Amino acid sequence: MAKRKSWKSTLFKWSKELISVFVLVTLVSLALDWYRSLDMPNGDAPTLQAVTLDNIPVDIIEQSHQKPVVLYFWATWCGACRFVSPTIDWFSNHYQVVSVALSSGPDQRVEQYMQAKDYHFQ
């Protein structure tokens, strides 16, 4: 019978420790979220207007009033973008995606790259 009490008390002790750690981690996470949110900008986003490869003007803020818009900054030479772009292309089936190809050369090169990769986002 002494073993059974010992086992129960050990289990109770570990349960208390686990709950204490969980509460501590939760409080630290909440405090960090609060601290990081102090510098968050308030108000409306600045005007974001762009032109597609087809010379069609795009008003990103106006589009975002209808449904969410993903604004994706990428480049043809970017190694990480090669992994992320297929996911962004999948997002374009469900959300509006507006992409900004940074330092990727002339529009024709970007368009050829997107056609070669079969990307359908703007």
36/68 same-domain check: no
103/53 same-domain check: yes
pLDDT confidence bin for 3, thresholds 50/70/90: low
Q: What per-residue string of b and e applies to 60-84 under the rule 16 or more CB within 10 Å gives b?
A: eeeebeeeebeebebbbebeebeee
Q: Which domain holds residue 26?
A: 1-40
64/8 same-domain check: no
Is the full-model pTM beyond 0.75?
no
In this predicted structure, which of 36-40, 50-54, 58-62, 65-69 has the lowest mean pLDDT? 50-54
66/110 same-domain check: yes
Written as six digits, the tokens of 96 are: 């509006």
28/55 same-domain check: no
Give domain status of residue 122, yes or no.
no
Residue 104's contacts (CB-CB under 8 Å, 6 or more residues apart) are 75, 76, 77, 110, 113
Segment 56-81, tens digit of pLDDT? 888 888 878 888 888 888 888 888 88
Give domain status of residue 11, yes or no.
yes
Average pLDDT over residues 92-106: 80
Give domain status of residue 34, yes or no.
yes
